[in-house]
Amino acid sequence: MRILLQFPEGLKQKALEHAKKLEKEGHEVLISASPTFGACDLALDEAKSLNVDKLIHYGHAEFQHVDFNVEYVSYEIDAPMDLLPQSLEALKDYTKLGLVTTIQHMHQLGTVKQFYESKGHEVLIGKPYGFAKKPGQILGCDIGSAANIDSKVDALVYFGGGIFHPLGAVLATKKPFFVIEPFQGTIERFDGYRELYAKKRKAKILRSLEAKRIGIMLTTKNGQHNMALAKVLKAKIEKSGMSAGILVANTFDFESLNNMLEFDAFVNTACPRLSIDDIDRTRKPLLSANELMEVIHMREELAMKPRSPGSTVQTRIS
């Protein structure tokens, strides 16, 4: 069998090890070296062009059904539990805790829950409502397990590696949010990021008010491609009096976007995290679809107000 292996960035160091195991079983094995951002980003084009029999995708659970032979290996990682006793001091003022993690640590979620319950806390684990498959699991683009219990708990706790996943969850919730990062050995209260990102969001919306040409980012990634949304946004942009062009790529290169000098702003229809995490990588504002609609609405309101000759829209934030 000819097999293509695909690893996220954090697991690429294991690629050759897994390839050799499969080769010993008699398979022909190829390794994708392309960037991989999740199960929404399957290497289907490479798999089909190479005529492989199976794509093995490591590090994620199934995101959505695709018409190809894909095997998902969630790749469980045992995170050290040493920080749990230390976290009790930070959590002492919160009785009800909401607990979330990533697919790599789902097998440890029950143990973490039992620990906090043994110390007198009530622990809730929410159900996902989007692409995540398991209770307590969050993705960068699916924070349902956190949002579902936000109103029912005193604080939320993420246990796991990295800050990519909890950042998405903290921006979609309102309660105090703690990140226990067992590999870095840190316990951090994370909800201060809400104010920071609210300011950045306001700034890019205001910077876009005088835009005349908008670039609409459309990815070809299997789980992120949304031509229907791109067409709707193009129609709305042009109806509002601006020009729009649909920009197509698999993985967007921000240096290339910055070379498209005729555009005054960009709107993202690909991974929703681009318009959160990557807004400082473009010279022009990088908006989400909802932020674009706010810009259009504000432009309509401003157009209805009388303006003195020579005046311009004030975009400075006090």
Domain boundaries, given as residue ranges, for the chain: 2-73, 83-191, 198-303
Domain 198-303 in the same topology as domain 83-191: yes
- Coil, helix or strand for 118? helix
pLDDT of residue 305: 75
* Angle, CA 156 vertex, CA 150 and CA 162 arms, to 5°: 125
Which residue(s) pair with 5 in the sheet?
A: 31, 56
- Per-residue pLDDT at 57: 97
Distances (CA, A) of 120 to 86, 88, 91, 113, 189: 15, 10, 11, 11, 21
**Can you give the pTM of this predicted structure?**
0.88
Q: Going residue by residue through the chain, which has 318 residues, state the pLDDT in tens, using 9 for 90 and above.
A: 999 999 998 899 999 999 999 999 999 999 999 999 989 999 999 999 999 999 999 999 888 889 999 999 988 999 999 999 999 999 999 999 999 999 999 999 999 999 999 999 999 999 988 788 899 999 988 999 999 999 999 999 999 998 999 999 999 999 999 999 999 999 999 999 999 999 999 999 999 999 999 999 999 999 999 999 999 999 999 999 999 999 999 999 999 999 999 999 999 999 999 999 999 999 999 999 999 999 999 999 988 877 666 555 444 433
Judge whether 143 and 150 are in contact, CB under 8 Å: no
pLDDT of residue 309: 60
pLDDT for the residue numbered 131: 85
C-beta of residue 288 within 8 angstroms of C-beta of residue 174: no
What integer pLDDT is reported at residue 128 of this predicted model? 86
Which pLDDT does position 209 carry in this prediction? 96
Is 198-303 a domain of CATH 3.30.930.10? no
**Residue 213: which of 293, 146, 132, 284 has the closest Cα?**
284
User: What homologous superfamily is domain 83-191 in, according to CATH?
Assistant: Diphthamide synthesis DPH1/DPH2 domain 2 (3.40.50.11850)
Fold of 2-73: Rossmann fold (3.40.50)
The span from the CA of 156 to the CA of 147, in Å, is 10
